[in-house]
Structure 1
Amino acid sequence: MTDARDPQDPTTAHPRPDFPQQGQEHPGWTGPMDPPPDHGENSYRGSGLLNDRKTVVTGGDSGIGRAVALAYAREGADVLFTYLPEEAEEARRTTALVEDAGRTAIAMPCDLREESACREVVDRAAGEFGRIDVLVNNAAYQMSQPDGIGAITTEQFDRVVHTNLYAMFWLCKMSVPHLPAGGSIINTTSVQAYKPSPHLLDYAMTKGAIVTFTQGLAQMLVGDGIRVNAVAPGPVWTPLIPATLPDTVEFGKQAPLGRPAQPAEMAPAYVFLASAHANFITAEVMNATGGTPLP
């Protein structure tokens, strides 16, 4: 096993574009991706930062969600994660990674666009774990529309907003009664919140809203001892990319580091924000953009 803690040149630590052109149907799958995403399977080593924490990670079947679930488990946490029903094979891989770390994995197939599904997630986590120490809102939907706003259908707009905003709102609202003092909510925004790509207009809009929601909710819950923060990734090599973007050849080249992040490179931010090391940090957005300056 390599060790992610060893010094590395960040410009060459992972594959750089050009990548092969590749496309998939949404929601996308890890297996066909070239190069294969790195979730930290062979590099992430835990240090007991989240011992016995009870955590919920949405969209945990692949990409950033899988990397976070793996890292949380290796840090000592039990993990309930959600996935779309068609992603069952991906979910089995995440389950195996969590269980191989000696922790409990609960995999829940559901569509978080439905309020009832969010309620079932929270009820299951609270029922099986007894509490929720960390909620990670990671599940998201995007679809590139290079032809502009006229090409964004109401159906697409609804799916983007319900997946990215409604689900986050419902899960936070429902989880708060189960979060003890010392608990943590971590939302996933994006570089798109600050530097929107025109072809991702609706997605970028929701990511901007997540920043505002995070800052406001943090102030609302600070008296309860619950911290609320967000991570803002730049380009990350996940199945969502070949499933939603027309061009994968130069993906991530625009980042100053010259490449996209791997999911494994995002997970440490979520670990830190969930841990006691971040006790004085709330209402913040941790930028992980590969060098793109953000406000």
Structure 2
Amino acid sequence: MRVGVLLLPTDPWAETVKLAQRLEQLGYAHLWTYDHLSWRRYRDRAWHAAIPWLTGLAAKTSTIRLGTMVAAPTFRHPVTLAKEAMTLDHVSGGRLTLGLGAGRAGFDSDVFGGPAPTRSELAARFAEFVEAIDRLLREPITSHHGAHYTINDARMLPGCVQEPRLPLAVAAAGPRTLATAARYADAWITYGDATHHDITPAGTERIVRAQTEHLTEHCAAAGRDPTTIDRIYLVGNTAEKPLASVAAFTDFVGRYAALGFTDIVFHHPRPGDPIWTEDPGIVEAIATDVLSQLR
């Protein structure tokens, strides 16, 4: 089991660098940030662009993996995102995981106007988005003509450091996005009930178990071994509080390891945030008491 931390791209840069370097020193496996133009309760606060933010951290760290949680077609185009990701893969020395998600109506998509997409439309666009990015990151020259994107002879040179391309982590909860993950993902991301109707610990485990079973079914349909896909659980959107203590975190990790998860990512506690209210000292305690055992 690997453990990573999600930092919001909202704090002063010097503070961000110091914290990222400390997380690397503590032995956390990966560091993530949200990829949005603005975000929910931070909508009127400082909010930096994810790719430049991660690029800056790539230059200030050396071992910790970096990732987007998650980039979506709400304001991204596959050609420009793939080019930026390929470049960041070089800057980081092959430490980037590109997290991708379908997005939703509101926030980022409202900036551009137009009618709000339905869930079905989001899933269809996402499937083509991931397919195009997969090809762009694998091939030096790509053309694609689909329902949502047209790409004419896009050059992706010199290609990724990681082969055959940098890893894609696909966020998925419903049947259509899980099918996309089964086809293209190197890792699958979930946090449980995407509708937030059942956020209890027991309900979340039940939903995640069902999602895992559906992913396995979609892998079988795609002719793929489901064990080739890492499984990332994102903590912080349910009623459970695994950062309440080292014992709570250890118990949580054990339960999700039993469900087949290879990675846990939690939001770093933030003073003043109404949800991530834990003592920031728990991050140090987990590193001291848990990470070495997980390795």
Tell me which interval the TM-score lies in, with the shorter structure as reference length: 0.3 to 0.5
RCO comparison, higher one (Cα < 8 Å, 6+): 1
TM-score (normalizing by structure 2): 0.36
- Bigger proportion of residues as strand: 2
TM-score (normalizing by structure 1): 0.36
